[in-house]
C-alpha cells in the first residue's frame, strides 16, 4: 500500500511538473522572437535573476561604504565585507531552499500560482505556521519600507551635488513624485532591462569612485585613525551587514524565474561580482580622504565636481529609482493581497490601488533626511532578523524531523553534504548576528541616529549641506 501511495504521489508530482514545464515553454515561446516589447519586458532566466540580485545589492550603499571604512579602518572594512557577503549568500541559499520546499508541497496539493506571486511570509506560513507569517511580514515590510525611504533620501542627496539651487527637502518632494511611477511595473518579470542597466550604472559609479580617489591623491595631513570608538566601529559593521542583506526580495525574484531551481548559487555569484565594485571603491576613497569621511556619509561630497562625477551622480539617480521599485514591489504585492486586488489584470487599476503605499514612504524621507545613519539602524534592527536570523532558524525548524529531511525537496549542497554541518553553520550565524549585529550594532546605530536627530532635527531642510556663502554689504 505504501509503495502504491508513493507511486501515485510521484505520478501527480510528475504531471504537475510537466504542466509547469508546458506553461514555461508556452511563456518562453510567447516571449521569444523579435518582439522588442517581450525582449525588454519579460525576464525569467537565470541571467535575469543574476542581474536582479547584483543590481539590487548595491545602490546608494556604494556611496556610504567609504564612510563605514572611516569608522572601521582598512582591515576590518575588508574582512567584514567578505564575511557578510558570504554569510548573506548562505542565507539567500536557505531562503531559496525553503521556497522550493513550500512550492513543491503546495503543488502536490494542486495549488496553482499562475496569477499569484509567492512571498517570503507565505513560505513561512506554509512551512511553520501563522506566528512565523506574522514575524516575516512585520520584519520584511518594515525593512522594505525603510529601504524605499533610503532610496528617496539618497536621490535628493545626490542631485544636490549637481544642482544646489534647490535644497534637499525640495528634491525629495520631486523624486517622491518620480518614484511613484513604479506603481505601473507589474512584477519582477518586468525588470529585465532595468536590472541590466542598473548594474551597468553601479559598475560605472564604483570604478569612477576608485579612479577619481586615486587620481585626486591623499588630502593634506590625511589621517586614518579608525577604529577609534566602539560606537562608530559597530555602526560601520552594521552598515556592511546591511549592504549584503538585500534578500527581502529574494522569493519574488525566484518566483519570477521560469526555473526557480536554478537560483541556488545565483546570489553567491552576484555577491562575488559585487566585491569587485565595493572593495576597490571603498578602499580608494578612504585612502584619499581618511577621517574627513566621518563627517561625509556620501562619498560624492568629497570628490571634485567634474563631468565624470556628474555622470556618476545621474546614473546613481536612475539606479536609485530602479532600486526604489525593487524595494516597493513586494510592498505593492502585500497591499494588493490585503485589499483583494492581487488577481486584477488591469495594470492601471493595480497602479491606482498601489499609490497609498508610496505616501508614507515619501513622508518618512522628509522627516528623517540622513541616509547614512538610517542604513546602520535598519541594518541592526531589521536586516539582522529579516535576512540572517529568521531564514537560519526557519530552515532548522523546517527540517528538524527525520521525515522532513528524508523527503526534502532540496538536499544539502554538494560542498556540505551533511545536515549536521548545515545546523552548525545556521547556529553560528544566529549567534553572531544576534550578539554583534542586533546587540552591539543596534546600540551603536541608534546612539548615532539619535545624535543626528539632535544635531539636525527632524524635517531638516538640507542635511550635511555646505553653509551659504556670506553676503558682503
What distance in Å separates the CA atoms of residue 463 and residue 299, rounded to the nearest whole number? 15
Residue 28: enclosing H or E segment and its boundaries?
A: helix 2-30
What distance in Å separates the CA atoms of residue 70 and residue 336, rounded to the nearest whole number? 42
CA atoms within 13 A on the CB side of 13: 11
Residues whose CB falls within 8 Å of the CB of residue 415, separated by 6 or more in sequence, listed in order: none
What distance in Å separates the CA atoms of residue 3 and residue 1, rounded to the nearest whole number? 5
Where do runs of H (alpha helix) occur along 217-244? Answer: 230-243
Query: Is 1.10.10 the CATH classification of the domain at 45-456?
Result: no
Region of 200 on the Ramachandran plot (φ > 0 left; ψ -120 to 50 alpha; else beta)? alpha
Report CA-CA distances (Å) from 106 to 9, 16, 262.
Answer: 13, 11, 19
Report CA-CA distances (Å) from 137 to 113, 359, 421, 429.
Answer: 20, 20, 29, 21
What distance in Å separates the CA atoms of residue 358 and residue 365, rounded to the nearest whole number? 11
Q: Which residues of 259-286 are buried (b: 16+ CB within 10 A; e: fewer)?
A: ebeebbebbbebbeebeebbbbbbbbbb
Q: What is the pLDDT of residue 156?
A: 77
* Burial zone of 8 (CB within 10 Å; 0-12 exposed, 13-18 middle, 19+ buried): exposed
Q: Whose CA is closest to 241, among 79, 394, 94, 365?
A: 79
Distance from first CA to last CA of the chain, Å, rounded?
99
Q: What is the pLDDT of residue 60?
A: 73
Cβ(245)–Cβ(88) under 8 Å? Answer: yes
Give the CA dihedral 412, 417, 423, 428, nearest 10 degrees. Answer: -110
Report CA-CA distances (Å) from 98 to 239, 384, 449.
Answer: 27, 19, 35
What distance in Å separates the CA atoms of residue 473 and residue 172, rounded to the nearest whole number? 33
Measure the CA angle with vertex 95, ends 265 and 339; round to 5°.
Answer: 130
* pTM for this model (two decimals): 0.83
Q: Which residue, chain included where needed, has cell 543574476?
A: 50
Dihedral (CA of 176, 181, 187, 188) sign: negative
Cβ(375)–Cβ(64) under 8 Å? Answer: yes
Cβ(299)–Cβ(79) under 8 Å? Answer: no
- Sorted by where each begins, the domain ranges of the chain are 45-456
Q: Whose CA is closest to 128, among 404, 461, 424?
A: 404
Per-residue pLDDT of the chain (473 residues; tens, 9 = 90+): 444 444 444 444 444 444 444 444 444 444 444 455 555 556 678 888 898 888 888 777 788 899 999 999 999 999 999 999 999 999 999 999 999 999 999 888 888 877 788 889 999 999 999 999 999 998 888 888 887 888 787 777 777 777 777 777 787 788 888 888 888 877 776 777 888 888 999 999 999 999 999 999 998 888 888 788 888 898 888 888 888 877 678 888 888 888 888 888 899 999 999 999 999 999 999 999 999 998 888 888 888 889 999 899 889 888 888 888 888 888 888 888 888 887 777 888 888 888 888 888 888 887 776 655 666 677 778 888 988 999 999 999 999 999 999 998 888 988 888 899 999 999 999 999 999 888 988 888 788 777 766 666 555 556 556 654 444 44
What distance in Å separates the CA atoms of residue 143 and residue 126, rounded to the nearest whole number? 22
Q: What is the pLDDT of residue 46?
A: 85
- Per the document, the length of the chain is 473
The pair phi, psi for residue 467, each rounded to 5°, is: -65, 145
Where do runs of H (alpha helix) occur along 413-440? Answer: 419-432
Task: Return the C-alpha cell found at 158.
Answer: 545626490
Q: Which residue, chain included where needed, has cell 560542498?
A: 415
What distance in Å separates the CA atoms of residue 410 and residue 101, rounded to the nearest whole number? 7
- What does the DSSP assignment read for 161-212? TT--SS-HHHHHHHHHHHHGGGGG--SGGGGHHHHHHHHHHHHHHHHHHHHH
Amino acid at each position: 500500500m505504501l509503495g502504491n501511495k508513493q507511486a501515485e504521489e510521484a505520478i501527480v508530482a510528475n504531471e504537475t511538473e510537466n504542466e509547469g514545464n508546458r506553461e514555461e515553454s508556452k511563456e518562453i515561446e510567447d516571449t521569444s522572437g523579435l518582439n522588442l516589447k517581450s525582449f525588454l519586458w519579460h525576464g525569467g532566466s537565470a541571467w535575469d535573476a543574476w542581474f536582479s540580485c547584483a543590481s539590487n545589492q548595491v545602490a546608494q550603499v556604494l556611496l556610504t561604504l567609504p564612510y563605514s571604512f572611516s569608522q572601521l579602518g582598512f582591515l576590518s572594512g575588508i574582512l567584514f565585507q567578505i564575511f557578510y557577503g558570504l554569510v548573506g549568500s548562505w542565507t539567500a541559499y536557505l531562503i531559496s531552499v525553503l521556497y522550493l520546499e513550500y512550492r513543491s508541497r503546495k503543488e502536490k496539493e494542486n495549488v496553482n500560482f499562475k496569477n499569484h506571486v509567492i512571498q517570503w511570509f507565505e513560505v513561512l506560513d506554509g512551512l511553520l505556521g501563522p506566528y512565523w507569517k506574522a514575524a516575516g511580514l512585520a520584519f520584511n515590510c518594515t525593512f522594505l519600507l525603510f529601504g524605499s525611504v533610503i532610496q528617496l533620501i539618497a536621490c535628493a542627496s545626490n542631485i544636490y551635488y549637481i544642482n544646489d539651487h534647490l535644497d534637499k527637502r525640495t528634491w525629495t518632494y520631486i523624486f517622491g513624485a518620480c518614484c511613484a511611477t513604479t506603481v505601473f511595473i507589474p512584477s519582477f518579470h518586468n525588470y529585465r532591462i532595468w536590472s541590466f542597466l542598473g548594474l551597468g550604472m553601479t559598475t560605472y559609479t564604483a570604478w569612477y569612485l576608485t579612479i577619481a580617489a586615486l587620481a585626486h591623491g591623499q588630502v593634506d595631513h590625511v589621517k586614518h585613525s579608525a577604529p577609534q570608538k566602539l560606537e562608530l566601529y559597530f555602526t560601520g559593521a552594521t552598515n556592511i551587514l546591511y549592504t549584503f542583506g538585500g534578500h527581502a526580495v529574494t522569493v519574488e525574484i525566484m518566483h519570477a524565474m521560469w526555473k526557480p531551481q536554478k537560483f541556488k548559487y545565483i546570489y553567491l555569484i552576484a555577491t562575488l561580482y559585487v566585491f569587485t565594485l565595493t572593495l576597490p571603491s571603498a578602499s580608494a576613497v578612504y585612502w584619499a580622504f581618511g577621517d574627513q569621511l566621518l563627517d561625509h556619509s556620501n562619498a560624492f561630497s568629497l570628490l571634485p565636481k567634474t563631468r565624470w562625477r556628474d555622470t556618476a551622480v545621474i546614473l546613481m539617480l536612475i539606479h536609485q529609482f530602479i532600486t526604489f521599485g525593487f524595494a516597493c514591489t513586494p510592498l505593492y504585492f502585500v497591499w494588493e493581497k490585503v485589499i483583494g486586488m492581487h488577481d486584477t489584470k488591469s495594470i492601471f487599476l493595480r497602479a491606482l490601488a498601489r499609490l497609498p503605499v508610496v505616501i508614507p514612504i515619501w513622508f518618512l524621507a522628509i522627516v528623517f533626511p540622513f541616509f547614512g545613519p538610517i542604513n546602520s539602524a535598519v541594518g541592526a534592527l531589521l536586516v539582522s532578523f529579516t535576512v540572517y536570523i529568521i531564514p537560519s532558524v526557519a530552515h532548522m525548524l523546517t527540517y528538524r524531523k527525520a521525515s522532513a529531511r528524508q523527503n526534502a525537496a532540496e538536499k544539502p549542497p554538494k560542498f556540505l553534504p551533511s545536515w549536521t554541518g548545515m545546523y552548525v553553520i545556521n547556529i553560528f550565524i544566529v549567534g553572531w548576528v544576534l550578539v554583534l549585529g542586533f546587540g552591539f550594532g543596534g546600540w551603536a546605530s541608534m546612539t548615532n541616529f539619535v545624535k543626528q536627530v539632535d544635531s539636525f532635527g527632524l524635517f531638516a531642510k538640507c542635511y550635511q549641506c555646505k553653509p551659504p556663502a556670506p553676503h558682503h554689504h
